[in-house]
Homo-oligomer: A and B are copies of this chain.
Amino acid sequence: MRTGSEAVSRTGSPAGKGHQRLNRIELTAIGIIHTPYTEPKDMPIQGRFKDDVEGWLELKEEYVPGLRDLDGFSHLIIIYHFHRSDREEMQGQPYLEDESHGIFAIRSPHRPNHLGLSIVRLQRIDGNRIYFTEVDMLDGTPLLDIKPYVEHFDRREGVKSGWVDKHFEDGTAPEETIIR
């Protein structure tokens, strides 16, 4: 199988526009994400605010041995490709916000490399199917990686969440999407 690293012809030095071809990395989908959401407008801001919806990852059979012991984790980090995004923006205006923010300060799909990340709650694994809740991906999204969510690495205290904090001031989630 071709791996991403084989496709990197050069790294280690900063590159301007003329050198971009030297920094290309080629990935292959390891599976497909199945969810009830076929259009962005139907999705919740983040899956954890609507936890009665279930999705599942359909892993290519060749990767099933990689799932060993994953069932000991309550949460997973899913990395995927925002395949429906047709553009790359440097700024975006999240829903409910009056001003725009840099693309690296929001979770918009219209970002360089179109990589998406969600933390989901693992429900059960059945062969090559990984069922989960806290769903916020579109149906048919190409899956790129699954990592265990490790409390000791991934959970932070004393976090400042920039422009997002004001929408959660009363300790509850806003009713409307603010990210998509």
Q: Answer yes or no: A53 CB below 8 A from chain B CBs.
A: no
Least CB distance from A28 to B in Å reads 5
Chain B residues near A84 (CB-CB < 8 A): 5
Number of interface residues of A (CB under 8 A): 95
> Is A140 close to B, CB under 8 A?
yes
Q: For residue A106, which residues in chain B have a CB less than 8 angstroms away from its CB?
A: 148
Least CB distance, A170 to chain B, in whole angstroms: 12
Scoring A residues 142 to 177 as 1 if CB is less than 8 Å from chain B, else 0, what string do you get?
A: 101111111111111011111111001000010000
Contact A101 B69 (CB under 8 A): yes
User: With A60-B15, A82-B5, A155-B155 given, is the CB distance from A104 to B146 under 8 Å?
Assistant: yes
Residue pair B162, A105 in contact (C-beta under 8 Å): no
27 pairs, CB–CB < 8 Å, chain A vs chain B: A3-B112, A8-B83, A14-B31, A15-B29, A20-B28, A26-B27, A30-B112, A30-B113, A63-B112, A65-B91, A66-B103, A70-B162, A72-B160, A72-B161, A74-B156, A79-B115, A106-B148, A115-B144, A117-B117, A119-B153, A148-B161, A148-B164, A151-B156, A151-B159, A151-B165, A152-B161, A152-B164
